[in-house]
């Protein structure tokens, strides 16, 4: 089973090296690694090129934002399974892709997801929050549940089913919550069967775009509501539950 792993970036600094190394160190051999860069000017282009043919595809050109970059990566991916490693993130261990592949081999599910650790920006060993996903139930979507998007690996056939009229997969009219809209479409509308892998798959550095400011939090909440209504799943109460679900992450540990 061939995996396509996509990293998108724009002036990510040295932290992208951790993301790249976490992919290249996997003990699973059949990986197509794609990096989509938005014309970075901070030395990223030279850094990525220094890895040579270890990077399967590298594109560096202006784009229309992170979701446009994700769409671009998916469109050139050739693997049977597609996943993402954000420039600030890293795979939690060298066996993550092997474990996900084993999950696909043992089930007919269209997707596999797992747990996520939020770690300190400058110390990936220090866990700030622990997101235990738990098993998926359709009814949980109305209670604000969703899997951590960076841990979600889907078969390429699922992306083809979820494709939008404009040819993309993530709706670029969203600035923050297109990933949530996408997951609601896949899990709620298309009812794709997904399987929970009860282990940490990804470490994510704190400080994401959606929580950088009060205005971004408000914007994300509005976009979350739009995604819920568009996909016919939940309402304002769902949004409240979705935010309250984060609280146990600060005290829970694996």
pLDDT at 191 over 90: yes
**Cα–Cα distance list, 230 to 21, 127, 142, 208, 220 (Å):** 38, 35, 13, 25, 15
pLDDT per residue over 118-132, tens digit each?
999 999 999 999 999
Can you give the pLDDT at residue 81? Answer: 98
pLDDT at 246 over 80: no
The percent of residues in the chain predicted with pLDDT above 70, rounded, is 91
What does the pLDDT average to over 138-165?
94
| Nearest 10 degrees: Cα torsion 110, 194, 147, 139 | 130
What does the pLDDT average to over 181-194?
95
Q: If you average pLDDT over every residue of the chain, what do you get? A: 92
Q: Structural domain boundaries of the chain? A: 3-250
Contact 34, 6 (CB under 8 A): yes
Closest to 188 in 3D by CA, of 139, 242, 222: 139
What does the pLDDT average to over 60-75?
96
Q: Specify the DSSP element, H or E, that contains 2.
A: none
Q: What is the CATH number of domain 3-250?
A: 3.90.550.10
The percent of residues in the chain predicted with pLDDT above 90, rounded, is 78
Give the model's confidence band at 245: pLDDT under 50 very low, under 70 low, under 90 confident, else very high. low
Contact 115, 152 (CB under 8 A): no
pTM of the model: 0.92
Can you give the pLDDT at residue 143? Answer: 85
Can you give the pLDDT at residue 252? Answer: 62
Can you give the pLDDT at residue 234? Answer: 72
Which segment of 4-18, 57-71, 78-92, 225-239 scores lowest on mean pLDDT? 225-239
């Amino acid at each position: 089973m061939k995996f396509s792993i996509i990293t998108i970036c724009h002036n990510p600094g040295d932290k992208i090296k951790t993301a790249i190394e976490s992919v290249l160190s996997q003990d699973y051999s059949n990986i197509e690694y794609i990096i989509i860069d938005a014309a970075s000017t901070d030395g990223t282009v030279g850094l990525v090129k220094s890895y040579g043919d270890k990077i399967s595809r590298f594109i560096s050109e202006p784009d229309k934002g992170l979701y446009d970059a994700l769409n671009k990566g998916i469109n050139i991916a050739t693997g049977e399974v597609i996943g993402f490693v954000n420039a600030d993130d890293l795979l939690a261990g060298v066996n993550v892709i092997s474990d996900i592949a084993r999950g696909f081999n043992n089930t007919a599910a269209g997707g596999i997801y797992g747990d996520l650790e939020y770690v300190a920006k400058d110390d990936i060993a220090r866990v700030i929050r622990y997101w235990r996903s738990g098993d998926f139930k359709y009814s949980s979507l109305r209670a604000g549940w969703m899997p951590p998007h960076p841990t979600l690996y889907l078969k390429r056939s699922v992306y083809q089913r979820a494709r939008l009229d404009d040819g993309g997969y993530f709706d670029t009219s969203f600035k923050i919550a297109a990933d949530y809209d996408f997951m609601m479409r896949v899990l709620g509308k298309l009812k794709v069967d997904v399987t929970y892998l009860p282990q940490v798959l990804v470490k994510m550095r704190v400080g994401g775009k959606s929580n950088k400011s009060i205005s971004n939090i408000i914007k994300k909440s509005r976009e979350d509501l739009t995604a819920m209504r568009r996909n016919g799943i939940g309402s304002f109460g769902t949004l409240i539950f979705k935010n309250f679900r984060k609280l146990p992450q600060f005290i829970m540990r694996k």
